[in-house]
Structure 1
Amino acid sequence: MYSDVLNTIGFFNDWERLLFEKEIKLRYVNKNEILLQKGNIAASVFFNLKGSLYQHIKNEEKVEIIIDLHPENEWVLNHGSFLTQQPANSTITSYSGGIVLELSIQSIHYLIGQSLSFLQLNKIINTAVSRIALFDNALTPREKYIYVLDTRPQLLQEFPLKMIASYLKITPETISRVREIILRGKSFY
């Protein structure tokens, strides 16, 4: 049943799916529950079955900066900490409460040792890098918003505009203007 999440990353036979089912942990999370605290080492990846999660930091002024937003049916991890096994520089928190599947790094190693098909789990790490495209390409606020509309529209339904603006590194006022201009069909920037 939970092995269906493997369809998001590749093909696995029935035996491999059974192995995965034995290693995955079902976890119910409350609203505002922390899955990974800044300063701790990321020892797991999560698949968000229900609810919304987000990654964030606080700047020098103690203002929360959104690093990433995770709606349902997405893999979630702190990329840097998980790969390097160094302390995380951000926190992963449940925004709405929900259900996640948790797969530990030890379980990943065990699964790969049992079947090389589990090397496909590396695709989880690759998806965590997708956010970089937003900022490496020096996109305008309009282009960033259109990127979200085109690639992750569920964010607009699950998170408040203020969080989306922080994620896109634009002000809430700018995102409101961009939305209005797009709705009116005008060009911007």
Structure 2
Amino acid sequence: MKEIVALSKQTITIERNEFLRTKGTIDTNVYYIESGSLRVFVLDDDQEQTIRFGYQSNIVASLDSFLTGKPSNFYIQAIKKTVIKVITKPEIDQLLKTETHLKLWTTILEELVIQQMEREIDILTSSPKERYLRVLKRSPQLFQEIPNKHIANYLRMSPETLSRLKKS
């Protein structure tokens, strides 16, 4: 991971609620979060559906656009003031010319895919309580970094349901 972050020649800061990316834009960058937090979401009939969070030491990307070079379906927004290292696709492509770095990049992409698959399975097959407990076990830091209203949206439950689960 350090090798990929070291590629960055640009650091940016975005303020709370500011968008890093919006739907319909092509984004072939990868972002390493130095501090702060982001959320990745889509709009479904004008309803925001959070699909991922990023906070310190996480990598975030509009993965659909990064992989295809086409406009993204995702919005990436700062939850609080966030400092981000920007790593461009040409920088990554240069790094991937070595076998060791190619394996590292493959591992990062595999982890992102597995996390997304686990999340989809949770949403489709688990009760709200089971989803809450799994996320709490998998990512306890999430509950320190992210406001409850965003966590509830991510878990597909009301903020009141999340509050009751946290109390029990």
- Quick one: percent identity of the two aligned structures? 28
SS in 2 for 1:96: strand
Task: Confirm whether residue 160 of structure 1 aligns to residue 147 of structure 2.
Answer: yes
Q: 1:125 offset after TM fit, Å? A: 2.1
Distance 1:122 1:34, change over 3 A: farther
Paired residues in the alignment total 164
Task: Confirm whether residue 108 of structure 1 aligns to residue 112 of structure 2.
Answer: no
**Rounded Cα–Cα distance in structure 1 between residues aligned with 2:139 and 2:7:** 31
Task: Confirm whether residue 70 of structure 1 aligns to residue 41 of structure 2.
Answer: no
CA-based RMSD of the aligned residues comes to: 2.0
**Rounded Cα–Cα distance in structure 2 between residues aligned with 1:49 and 1:20:** 10
Q: 1:45 offset after TM fit, Å? A: 0.8
CA contact (8 A) 2:41 2:50 kept: yes
Distance 1:64 1:23, change over 3 A: closer
SS in 2 for 1:121: helix
Q: 1:24 offset after TM fit, Å? A: 4.1
CA contact (8 A) 1:77 1:128 kept: no
- 1:141 aligned to which of 121, 128, 136: 128
SS in 2 for 1:153: coil
- 2:12 aligned to which of 24, 27, 30: 27
**Rounded Cα–Cα distance in structure 2 between residues aligned with 1:135 and 1:22:** 32
CA contact (8 A) 1:48 1:73 kept: yes
TM (norm. structure 1) is: 0.78
1:33-182 map, 5 Å: 33-60=18-45, 62-113=46-97, 115-119=98-102, 120-129=104-113, 130-137=115-122, 138-181=125-168
Q: 1:162 offset after TM fit, Å? A: 1.1
Higher strand share: 2
Runs of 4+ in structure 1 deviating by more than 4 angstroms, as ranges, are none
CA deviation map 1:28-79 (0-9, x unaligned): 222222222111122111111100010112221x232212111211111122
CA deviation map 1:73-120 (0-9, x unaligned): 11111222222222111111111112111111111111123x222211
SS in 1 for 2:83: strand
TM (norm. structure 2) is: 0.86
Distance 1:124 1:33, change over 3 A: farther
